[in-house]
Chain A
Amino acid sequence: MAITEDEARKVAHLARIAVDDADLPALAQELNGILHFMEQLNEVDVEGIEPMTGVEPMRLKRRVDIVTDGEMQDLILKNAPDAREGFFAVPKVVE
């Protein structure tokens, strides 16, 4: 499976990273190098093996369904590049 320039553009867009068209061939080549390295995994017989999700079989912890945190709007907005009137501000999303 080799990544074409077009697919590299698609991956960059999915990842929301702007890449200049001129840089796409180099990016595709780099990604191909890494994917080629991963292809070794095809040598392994994984028949009947479940994909591993966690290192220790444990039941996810549960707690009582009550509010334990909150009321800190100012702290949450403190690091925002643009916050106004208690909200995060972004460029226009809908025309």
Chain B
Amino acid sequence: MSDLNKLTIASARDGLRKGDFTSLDLTEACLSAIECADGLNAYSHRTPDAARAMAAAADQRIQSGDAPAMCGIPLGIKDLFCTKGVPSQAASRILDGFLPQYESTVTQNLWDAGAVMLGKLSMDEFAMGSSNESSCYGPVVNPWKVDGRQLTPGGSSGGSAAAVAADLCLAATGTDTGGSIRQPAAFTGTVGLKPTYGRVSRWGVIAFASSLDQAGPMTKTVRDAAIMLGAMASVDPKDSTSAEREIPDYEAALTGDIRGKKIGIPREYRMEGMSDEIDALWRQAAEMLHDAGAEIVDISLPHTKYALPAYYVIAPAEASSNLARYDGVRYGRRAKLGAGDGVVEMYEKTRAQGFGPEVQRRIMIGTYVLSAGFYDAYYNRARRVRALIKRDFDQAYAAGVDAILTPATPSAAFGLGEMSGKDPVEMYLNDVFTVTVNLAGLPGISVPVGLDKQGLPLGMQLIGRPWDEAGLLNLAQSLESAAGFTAKPARWW
């Protein structure tokens, strides 16, 4: 059977249980698709031998009747997750040669459920970026292509998004600190879910900004996101911010019934200069939810405008602290030292050579806003603004709103190289619709809803109540089926 790599998790699961094909068949189909996709540069490290062994074990488990939903499903794993004995370097030169001696909780949960690892997926260095161009492995290319240009798959989970869109895996893990799951999902016509902060363990995920980071699934359908979230989420004693909350059956929540749900349309997200196409698609998406029985209400989230500057204080501040550990002593690479160089020169040279320009920039900004004399003016002020941003959402939900509908990104995918040489702040604007969700710790999902006039996918974002991924997924599925987005990129790679 050919084209097994194109299946969704749900259809592969059903086929595996019926015995139509084996996990080894699925895995081989993905491995061959990966072999033929060097032009996309999505995988930074492949693990075909481990994949075949895991698939064989999954097949045995399925035969014995003990098969959770993810059993035998081949996945790609973002390079930010530590995987035992397999290179995990956050797409940074500073972690050259690093082989984790332990497994992240999320990936362990997936392997325990029987999932199969195909390899590691490229990303922006340390998850800092929106275009995948800061990866030490070179940029990932978006499988969507409408003219001579090569397009970005978005970032930071760009390798994950490209691999899912090009059927180089059935699904992938991503992480999202300011939009790094949802923006690449929107750029590639795939589904990306950032869960509520604390739903998924951060243990073993290389840290960027610990109060914002959250891992989630990147999939072909909303149903797949529901299935995969169920396997990724857990209450983890190894992560002190992991929430002690029961994990519901997300797939069972996909009832298709959204009658009476109240969907908020925040007026502050209608930004000046927003393209007519995105505005029109936003209105259409609201109509689709309305036709399915939801009530559409205008809401106000007055501090939206300040989310981006607050984020670009808080995230670099946390990053400067988290990335202090890369000092050339315990792991990764150490710079070649000159005669007479002491320990400080070792740190400074190692970090200058190991970190790329964007990571260096953010570490220095973070260092500055945390330094004596500026801590109150920048860092504390940003944290107070963050409290106000969260309060905006709290008030909307207290007024009875079930979820909020916004565009996922201000544009469709742009060309690789088009943003280089521009002011770094221009690139930060990509996150304008997504960072608010991380600052408030809420769940958010990007769903492909249409194509723009060039033929590139556009996504809409639904933001849910805290811990209500189940309700959010049900709404997202309703939007997905009304939009009927089935376009796939034509193969050129």
Interface residues of A (CB under 8 A from B): 1, 3, 8, 11-19, 27, 30-31, 33-35, 37-44, 46, 49-56, 58, 60-61, 63, 72, 75-76, 78-82, 88, 90-93
Q: Which of B345, B348, B383 contacts A53 (CB 8 A)?
A: B383
B240, A60: Cβ atoms closer than 8 Å: yes
Closest A residue to B355 by beta carbon equals: A17
A17, B352: Cβ atoms closer than 8 Å: yes
Bound CA span A39–B382, Å = 10
Bound CA span A43–B378, Å = 13
Name the distance in Å between A60's Cβ and chain B's nearest Cβ: 6
Q: Which of A52, A72, A88 contacts B386 (CB 8 A)?
A: A52
B330, A40: Cβ atoms closer than 8 Å: no
Q: How many A-B residue pairs have CB under 8 A?
A: 166
A53, B211: Cβ atoms closer than 8 Å: yes
B368, A44: Cβ atoms closer than 8 Å: no
4 extra interface residue pairs, beta carbon distance < 8 Å, beyond A53-B383, A54-B241, A81-B333: A11-B368, A37-B308, A44-B388, A50-B384
Bound CA span A33–B388, Å = 25
Bound CA span A13–B368, Å = 11
Bound CA span A41–B378, Å = 8
Q: With A33-B424, A80-B329, A90-B346 in contact, do A18 and B351 touch (Cβ < 8 Å)?
A: yes
B361, A30: Cβ atoms closer than 8 Å: yes
- A contacts with B: majority SS: loop
Q: Restricting to B290-328, which residues have a CB under 8 Å from any CB of A?
A: 303, 305-306, 308-310, 312-313, 320, 324, 327-328
B450 at interface by CB-CB < 8 Å: no
For A91, what are the chain B residues with a Cβ–Cβ distance below 8 Å?
Answer: 337, 341-343, 345-346
For A18, what are the chain B residues with a Cβ–Cβ distance below 8 Å?
Answer: 345, 348-349, 351-352
For A1, what are the chain B residues with a Cβ–Cβ distance below 8 Å?
Answer: 374, 377
Name the distance in Å between A23's Cβ and chain B's nearest Cβ: 10
Contact with A along B377-397 (1 / 0, CB 8 A): 110111111111010000000
B382, A41: Cβ atoms closer than 8 Å: yes
B331 at interface by CB-CB < 8 Å: yes
For B415, what are the chain A residues with a Cβ–Cβ distance below 8 Å?
Answer: none
B247 at interface by CB-CB < 8 Å: no
Tier of interface size on chain B: 35 or more
Q: Restricting to B161-219, which residues have a CB under 8 Å from any CB of A?
A: 197-198, 211
26 cross-chain CB contacts under 8 A = A8-B364, A11-B364, A15-B360, A15-B363, A16-B324, A16-B327, A18-B348, A18-B352, A30-B361, A30-B424, A31-B361, A33-B423, A34-B312, A37-B312, A40-B305, A41-B385, A52-B383, A54-B211, A54-B441, A55-B198, A58-B243, A79-B330, A79-B332, A91-B345, A92-B342, A92-B343
For B330, what are the chain A residues with a Cβ–Cβ distance below 8 Å?
Answer: 76, 79-80, 88
B364, A55: Cβ atoms closer than 8 Å: no
For A27, what are the chain B residues with a Cβ–Cβ distance below 8 Å?
Answer: 364
For A19, what are the chain B residues with a Cβ–Cβ distance below 8 Å?
Answer: 352
Name the distance in Å between A52's Cβ and chain B's nearest Cβ: 4
Name the distance in Å between A38's Cβ and chain B's nearest Cβ: 5
B334 at interface by CB-CB < 8 Å: yes
A49, B387: Cβ atoms closer than 8 Å: yes
B364, A41: Cβ atoms closer than 8 Å: no
B197, A55: Cβ atoms closer than 8 Å: yes
Bound CA span A50–B306, Å = 17
B344 at interface by CB-CB < 8 Å: yes
B2 at interface by CB-CB < 8 Å: no
Name the distance in Å between A64's Cβ and chain B's nearest Cβ: 12
For A51, what are the chain B residues with a Cβ–Cβ distance below 8 Å?
Answer: 380, 383-384, 386-387
- Residue among A8, A49, A50, A54 with the highest chain B CB neighbour number at 10 A: A49
B237 at interface by CB-CB < 8 Å: yes
B331, A79: Cβ atoms closer than 8 Å: yes
A49, B367: Cβ atoms closer than 8 Å: no
Bound CA span A12–B320, Å = 11
B425 at interface by CB-CB < 8 Å: yes
